[in-house]
Structure 1
């Protein structure tokens, strides 16, 4: 049986839950979306349409808890890449929706384009540590009326792993679903295997449900399509400046969203996903790379186990603007802490500067961290065979295991063999020009992106999509000139 790091006793977890119910029942939350208010009112919640305040009685939350389900599946275009939480944990996802990119040629930060998304999609398809491509950037070159298409089309065209992102409006969402129907061959085929995965942040801390994201969650839940939300309290700004106050507020916000989803469709899969942070009150700066983000993720994950739902979120982010020691220790410490606490989902890949810019080298480095996390998850793999007693007797004192078939058979599975981390003697490293981790990672990214892309759409399908959406971006992956 797996053991996880725990902060709380059974009694303390119950008290956190009770405190969250008190908030929902006595304080309530502002629900800006009219349809959401109607759903809450229909099921017995106290709704004030003038102020938009909704109070949710604990009995309604507790009734909805009965329909929580313990798994969530990310479906891919290629079924071999389907992943299910928690069984396939840790499921590693790219960070998403950054406006900018670090240009791989100039090293300068600039606005990202649809061509960048195509290249990132292909890179993530080829990096084995990543399980889901959450579209990493926006697309500055999107034609009018095709904002979301200009993100999802190059992503789906170049990546066969599950693709995840959001849309700013229902009109954009409907366009993206049309794209999915075309790729699948029909709406019916798509509904059987919905390989576009949707994610929103409908709850704006403190205790407010917005209009558009909430509308999208309702729309997708009613259709029976995959969707989940992330809760994002920021201590000192949008939640109390204590870890426990932020946990209780964020937990209440998760329960409010979960209740809405279950009222619409009991048994709808969900993820208890968070990006709970503590602001740096010396400046007011956002600090997703701080160790407190990892601690809060651990606590939320403990509550997710209390509710028997998958957990995770944006964990392993960095405030650093370059691939330096800060970037490495912020990503490494927080993801390891979350893994030890039992988190299932890790939105950790590729972003620098507090989610503001994608960097190809960072994605390759994070792929290596992801492989290490997966190795930690495997652990020691206790068995009589793995103790290798017969082999130890055979080799005996003073012998060598280096040239044995047993060593050759196990060398690639026992250890992570990194491509970025340097293990050469100093002299060899100096002879190679003293490359740092960033340089080695960029070399690996270029090596991948200059090869033929095996994930690309067949020409016939691409022609069909381009005829259906006139003027759509090219969406082709190719290395930068």
Structure 2
């Protein structure tokens, strides 16, 4: 049986507790912005101006939907949580006596998901970093929950607090990263019972963007919600009106909803915080070997979890998540950035739109080093995500080894790719100015446009300026030492860290955060056995 990867569930490794270092306070600073030494545009969400790609016909989509309904009605799904079974039973589901098996008909599912919001806004402690979910909006989150990290200088190593903090800082520096999707690397040098407290305090102080709370026991959800509330300086009522944290919920494929994940839905949805319901379905392993069958199973599991959010609190914000790929049938290892992955990502978007839900997908690869494989698999993953209608693109920057490692250099390569995608999504402007007939008339046949007023007025921002791509000719590039993309990315992440400054935070809020975290640590944090 294949287990869900750390990239989705979050690790809980028992290790020695480490002390905090560095001051928190209200240290003034600034986030990356226009004019920063590293070229980037101001923080903004791209919007998709193009039509969605569709990988199956309307009839094919309905066939997948019908198969999903038959799975839930005829086969059912195991629910490993007594309160959730009772919630489903009261809603009209059939719960086998003395068993975890729950069957629910399509009417129950349709009625429940009818209350899901089609679009909503998440609120950061810096309102300029609020993020819209749904419609044509796109949001990128850096990689989440790798057990290892790597860079060119130090190689591959287990996750630790310092690397965690450095990656969080990089997520703050780059404006194309809109929010956190989880810990970019698991700091396994922190004891699992208090790790979430240290990490969430870092998110709340080292960044002013939206962050993620793991659903690994209700205590972690409650702590994360309270840390978000304190960091924003708002009341409990305002927090419930303004969703501020999200949690990824993975079903335990095939066809199981486990206890900590169901606790997460209950705790988050009751407080009107965001659930991203994402089955982890690998065709050939935890799902049928056919992509159509894997998608039918994905859809059944996703809709069961989404329905639960609405049974807990009608109108609670929820996102339809797709994470279907295939395995290498020779080794059983997960494969990403494959043609099958792209098709699944696109159909996942079709399904999300059928139910009028925001859609989550991912930027992934299976490469073991930052090489051509890492690049082309990520490009294919991201293309499927974007053209499939992804609103929330998880694991957007840093993902390596099928989710087992977060690479500092890959983070920079992905940032460059994300910035390129954002520029691609800018609508092409066609008007008298851009058609440039006067400039063409002035130059005439056989001339060039370098010196025209039209060019001089626009050349600074006319084209995307890449972070990594080297456009010099061979001789000039050779004279500069023939630098590779890997080497340039290595230099850039160090430059970005050197330029990081902590965003300002009211000293009273910082003190309240510290008091809450230290109190919860003294109480023992969260259980580590489920």
**TM-score of the superposed pair, with normalisation by structure 1:** 0.91
Matches within 5 A, 1:250-399: 250-314=298-362, 316-347=363-394, 348-399=396-447
1:451 maps to 2:499 = yes
Between 1:21-30 and 1:135-144, the stretch displaced more is: 135-144
1:414 and 1:128 mapped to 2: Cα distance? 20
* Equivalent in the alignment of 1:133: 180
Distance of 1:353 and 1:191 partners within structure 2:
38
Which whole-Å CA distance do the structure 1 matches of 2:81 and 2:477 have between them?
59
Q: Per the alignment, do residues 306 and 471 of structure 1 end up closer, same or farther by CA in structure 2, a change over 3 Å counting? A: closer
Relative distance call for 1:235 and 1:186 in structure 2 (3 A) is same
Partner of 1:198: 247
Give the stretch that moved more between structures: 405-414 or 133-142.
405-414
The SS at the match of 1:204 is coil
Alignment check: 8 A CA contact 1:234 1:279 kept: yes
Match of 2:156 in 1: 109
- Alpha-carbon separation, structure 1, partners of 2:377 and 2:425: 19
Ranges in structure 2 where 5+ consecutive residues have no aligned partner? 1-48, 522-530
1:211-222 equivalence runs, <5 A: 211-222=259-270
Q: 2:92 aligned to 41, 44, 49, which one?
A: 44
* Contact 1:167-1:173 at 8 Å conserved across structures: yes
Give the aligned partner of residue 231 of structure 2.
Answer: 183
Instruction: Kindly state the Cα deviation for residue 214 of structure 1 after the two structures are TM-superposed.
Output: 1.1
Residues 1:234 and 2:282 are matched in the alignment: yes
Q: Quote how far apart the aligned CAs of 1:13 are.
A: 1.8
Partner Cα distance (2:376, 2:288) in 1: 27
Contact 1:147 1:172 (C-alpha < 8 Å) held by counterparts? no
- For the residue of structure 2 that corresponds to 1:424, the secondary structure is coil
Q: Structure 1 pair 341/104, CA: closer, same or farther in 2 (3 Å)?
A: same
User: Aligned ranges for residues 430-441 of structure 1 at < 5 Å?
Assistant: 430-441=478-489
Structure 1 residues 419, 472: closer, same or farther in 2, change over 3 A?
farther
Instruction: After TM superposition, give the deviation of residue 458 of structure 1 in Å.
Output: 5.1
Distance 1:456 1:229, change over 3 A: farther
Select between 386-395 and 362-371 the one with higher mean Cα deviation: 386-395
| Partner SS for 2:95 | strand
- Counterpart-to-counterpart distance in 2, 1:101 and 1:383: 48
Q: What whole-Å deviation, never above 9, does each CA across 1:231-262 have from its counterpart, x for those lacking one? A: 21111111111011111111111111121112
Match of 2:295 among 227, 238, 247: 247
After superposition, the C-alpha distances for 1:29-49 in whole angstroms (9 at most, x for unaligned) are 001111111111001110124
Report the Cα offset of residue 309 of structure 1. Answer: 1.3
For 1:270 and 1:174, locate their aligned partners in 2 and report how far apart those are by CA, in whole Å: 18
Say which SS state the counterpart of residue 450 (structure 1) adopts: helix
Cα distance change on mapping 1:352 and 1:27 into 2, 3 Å: same
RMSD: 2.3
Which whole-Å CA distance do the structure 2 matches of 1:137 and 1:456 have between them? 24
Structure 1 181/262 Cα, relative in aligned 2: closer, same or farther at 3 Å?
Answer: closer
For each residue in 1:310-353, what CA deviation from the matched residue of structure 2 results, as whole angstroms up to 9, or x when unmatched?
21322x21111211000000001121133223222222211211
Matched positions, count: 470
CA distance in 2, matches of 1:191, 1:104: 44
Q: Are 2:55 and 2:343, in contact at CA under 8 Å, matched by a contact in 1?
A: no
Query: Offset of 1:279 from its aligned partner?
Result: 1.0
Mean Cα deviation higher: 11-20 or 23-32:
11-20
* Deviations, residues 276-330 of structure 1 (Å, cap 9, x unaligned): 011111111111343321221111111112222121322x211112110000000
1:308 and 1:45 mapped to 2: Cα distance?
23
In 1, Cα distance between the equivalents of 2:235 and 2:246? Answer: 15
Q: Contact 1:159–1:456 (CA<8 Å) still a contact in 2? A: no
Question: Per-residue deviation at 1:359?
Answer: 1.2
Contact (CA 8 Å) 2:240, 2:271: kept in 1 or not? Answer: no
1:476 is matched with which residue?
A: none
Match of residue 205 from structure 2: 157
C-alpha distance in 1 between matches for 2:413 and 2:520: 32
Distance in 2 of aligned mates of 1:241 and 1:460: 55
Q: 2:221 — aligned with what?
A: 173
- Tell me, in whole angstroms, the C-alpha distance in 2 between the residues paired with 1:379 and 1:469: 45
**Mapped contact 1:72–1:271 kept (Cα < 8 A):** no
Q: Is the 8 A contact 2:136 2:389 kept in 1?
A: no
| Ranges in structure 1 where 5+ consecutive residues have no aligned partner | 474-481
When residues 141 and 58 of structure 1 are mapped into structure 2, their CA distance, relative to the original with a 3 A threshold, is same
- The counterpart of 1:118, out of the listed 165, 173, 178, is 165
- The structural deviation recorded for 1:200 is 2.3
**Displacement of 1:193 after TM fit?**
4.1
- For residues 409-432 of structure 1, the C-alpha deviation after alignment (integer angstroms, 9 at most, x for no partner) is 444544221011111111222222
CA distance in 1, matches of 2:358, 2:456: 37
Question: Could you tell which deviates more after superposition, 172-181 or 20-29?
Answer: 172-181
The 2-side partners of 1:411 and 1:166 are apart by 46
